[in-house]
Chains A and B, each alone.
Chain A
Amino acid sequence: RKEVEQDPGPFNVPEGATVAFNCTYSNSASQSFFWYRQDCRKEPKLLMSVYSSGNEDGRFTAQLNRASQYISLLIRDSKLSDSATYLCVVNGDSGYSTLTFGKGTMLLVSP
């Protein structure tokens, strides 16, 4: 069974804090990895893809460790608008593009 596991949360942090989310996946044949953001009762929206070399987009840094089947997301200088659920997402094997989602970790940033 292909699973993606995430910290259950919620994470309550003050504005300006740095917060890290962790994720593990079970399907070693997975090829592509993503972090999506989901606001309450809204659709998932792509935050960033995750590459083996690690990648950064402004305040967001994603890391992938294929050997450990582990993905992380670091958010620096948290803003109130970062409050959302962060979904770790992995694609299927053999290049199929169906996505397997983690349950998500909720982040609440307070003033």
Chain B
Amino acid sequence: EPEVTQTPSHQVTQMGQEVILRCVPISNHLYFYWYRQILGQKVEFLVSFYNNEISEKSEIFDDQFSVERPDGSNFTLKIRSTKLEDSAMYFCASTQGGGGADTQYFGPGTRLTVL
């Protein structure tokens, strides 16, 4: 069964450093998402991406965050200058269509720890 993959599984970084989290969505999917989950809290939407541009973003997704699809397979989330409060699990998801009923398939996540 096709699946979303993410690398690395765990990233440790110093406050103020830049990090890039990588995702490979399911190959025939066209809509891509990033979510985060701070330990013990709910999953929160960050950004959605379609046709090489952001289609929606939350208030969490400020100027420190950016997304990119650098090639035909990867989808990345960059945090320019990490803060302690960016420590969380970051999940990538993808869907084939953009309708609300389309199933979102989640990757296994990257655990980001900011020291």
Contacts and interface: CB of A to CB of B under 8 A. Distances in A.
A4 to B, nearest CB: 8
Interface residues on B, range: 20 to 34
B41 interface: yes
B74 to A, nearest CB: 18
Chain A interface, >50% SS class: loop
A44 B91 contact: yes
A80 interface: no
Given A43-B91, A43-B109, A97 B42 contact: no
Interface residues on A, range: 20 to 34
Nearest to B109: A43
B103 interface: yes
Interface of A: 31-32, 38, 41-46, 49, 87, 91-92, 95-104
B91 A97 contact: no
